[in-house]
Amino acid sequence: MYEFRVTGPIPAGIAQTFCELDTVMIGSQTVLFGNVLDHAHLMNLLNRFRACGLLLTEMRPRPTMW
């Protein structure tokens, strides 16, 4: 499970690019979170953030509940 924080809201059309992630607005940031399957999936997500012109301000693994 990873969490990605992006500056500002994400337009609906771009949000569909990240359909495998859940999205919530917290203050002036959009937080996307969900399961990242492997390193290749993580790199694909990062490339999509860049291709969409989104400013990724933070990325981190989220703790999982036991």
User: Of all helices (H) and strands (E), which one includes residue 43?
Assistant: helix 39-51
Statement: the pTM of the whole predicted model exceeds 0.85: yes
- b/e map 19-58, b = 16+ CB within 10 Å: eebebeeeeebbbbbbebeeeeeeeebeeebeeeebeeee
- State the pLDDT at residue 64: 66
- State the pLDDT at residue 65: 60
Segments of the chain scoring below 70 in pLDDT: 64-66
- State the pLDDT at residue 24: 95
- State the pLDDT at residue 49: 96
